[in-house]
């Protein structure tokens, strides 16, 4: 008898789709649009209008969502196909490659720069502010981890292949 975790199907596809949609689209956009409201509620306007500073993050959020859309689409067949099916392994590797592309292009290859103008913190206003993070090593390690995650698709294929074949033979 087949293990429920080995089976994919429409429920698995829907579940993967919803999880990926929430993590890669809804949460980033929700946080982006909630930041000004959170600062107003917590600080009572002590930081001034922070929405102008949050607008500086807009290109990064747009780029993140743009590169996350293929991941949301790939998650559908990733959840649909059962473990042990070569198609699931292929989509798992495609998902890993999509994560690599997302990490590399959103962070500009590890050179993450945010420039803000007229940052107001209470009574103090800074006319120009720049945050530069050069974390190419961190991004490369993260990319390596994403590629290892893709290789788990091949490992999953090999481990569950016999069970997948036996359930396929029993049903067919």
Comparing C-alpha atoms, which of 100, 88, 106, 76 is closest to residue 154? 88
- Containing domain of residue 94, as a range? 4-171
pLDDT at 143 over 70: yes
Comparing C-alpha atoms, which of 56, 37, 41, 170 is closest to residue 118? 56
pLDDT at 3 over 90: no
Which tokens go with 156?
A: 């999953």
Which tokens go with 20?
A: 């990926």
Q: How far is CA 169 from the centre of its chain?
A: 36
Percent of the chain surpassing pLDDT 70: 77
Tell me the per-residue pLDDT of 26-37, one tens digit each, with 9 for 90 and over.
Answer: 999 999 888 877
Among the ranges 37-51, 64-78, 131-145, 156-170, which has the highest mean pLDDT value?
64-78
Q: How far is CA 23 from the centre of its chain?
A: 6
The pTM is what? 0.79
DSSP class of residue 171?
A: H
55 or 30: whose pLDDT is higher?
Answer: 30
Per the structure, the count of domains in the chain is 1
Mean pLDDT of the chain: 82
Give the pLDDT confidence score for residue 134 in this predicted structure. Answer: 66
**Beta carbons of 79 and 8 less than 8 angstroms apart:** yes
Place 166 in a pLDDT band, splitting at 50, 70 and 90.
confident
Q: Where are the beta strands (DSSP E) in the chain?
A: 111-121, 124-134
| Lookup result for tokens 């607008």 | 55
What is the distance in angstroms between the CA of the first residue and the CA of the last residue of the chain?
Answer: 14
Report the C-alpha gap between 96 and 146 in whole angstroms.
5
Give the pLDDT confidence score for residue 66 in this predicted structure. Answer: 96
Residue 71 CB coordination number (10 Å): 22
pLDDT at 149 over 70: yes
Comparing C-alpha atoms, which of 8, 56, 4, 66 is closest to residue 32? 56
Report the C-alpha gap between 89 and 154 in whole angstroms.
5
**Beta carbons of 146 and 99 less than 8 angstroms apart:** yes
pLDDT at 123 over 90: no
Q: Mapping DSSP to helix (H, G, I), strand (E, B) and coil, where does residue 78 land?
A: helix
Give the pLDDT confidence score for residue 35 in this predicted structure. Answer: 82
């Amino acid at each position: 008898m087949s293990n429920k975790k080995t089976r994919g199907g429409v429920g698995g596809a829907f579940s993967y789709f919803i999880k990926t949609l929430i993590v890669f689209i809804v949460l980033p956009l929700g946080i982006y649009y909630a930041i000004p409201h959170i600062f107003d509620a917590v600080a009572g306007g002590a930081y001034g209008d922070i929405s102008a500073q949050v607008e500086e993050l807009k290109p990064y959020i747009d780029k993140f969502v743009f590169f996350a859309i293929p991941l949301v689409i790939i998650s559908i067949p990733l959840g649909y196909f059962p473990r042990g099916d070569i198609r699931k392994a292929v989509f798992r590797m495609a998902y890993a490659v999509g994560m690599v592309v997302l990490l590399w292009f959103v962070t500009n290859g590890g050179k993450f720069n945010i420039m803000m103008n007229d940052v107001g913190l209470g009574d103090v206003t800074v006319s120009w502010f720049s945050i530069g993070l050069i974390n190419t090593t961190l991004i490369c390690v993260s990319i390596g981890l994403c590629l290892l995650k893709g290789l788990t698709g091949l490992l999953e294929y090999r481990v569950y292949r016999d069970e997948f074949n036996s359930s396929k033979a029993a049903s067919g």
